[in-house]
Amino acid sequence: MPNRHTLKAYEHAMTMAVGCGKTANMLPRVEQFALASQLRRAGYSAVLNIAEGAARGSIKQQLQYYGIARSSIHESEVILELAVKMGYLHQKQIELLQLQCDEAARTLFGYMLSLESQLAAASRLKGARAATALIVGLVTYLIATIR
């Protein structure tokens, strides 16, 4: 089980979440309970789900939480795009945050691929062990029946 503080994805998502919170404060008052709130929740959700996933015991559980975090990162990106298209923010104002979102998403995705590879390898090993046990069982049965 990894320590969240050693995960690059956690560090990047934390930076992104802080940026989402600050950027949400830049949105107009009319959007404080809508778009701004959604941006905060999406940013916070990303880093919180990475932290929760890192605390889980199994790779499957970790991947589930990391998948939710990844979706939250993408949601943050869409909210930023929407804020620009609605004229609330200028592209220049969100460029750094967009780069932080991209970095968090790429880092997390790479880590998820690594975990999926570990899971597949463990599954193959489990299958090989089961096949070996079956063969040993058959050989033992055959030896016992021949005698």
pTM score: 0.82
pLDDT for 141: 60
pLDDT in tens, 25-65: 999 999 999 999 999 999 999 999 999 999 998 999 999 99
Cα-Cα-Cα-Cα dihedral sign, residues 82, 83, 84, 87 = positive
Q: Measure the N-to-C terminal CA separation of the chain; round to a whole number of Å.
A: 50
Per-chain mean pLDDT for the chain: 89
- Which residue in 80, 54, 82, 83 sits closest to 68, CA to CA? 54
DSSP string of 88-100, one letter each residue:
SS-HHHHHHHHHH
Q: Domains of the chain: which residue ranges?
A: 4-122
- Which architecture does CATH list for 4-122? Up-down Bundle (1.20)
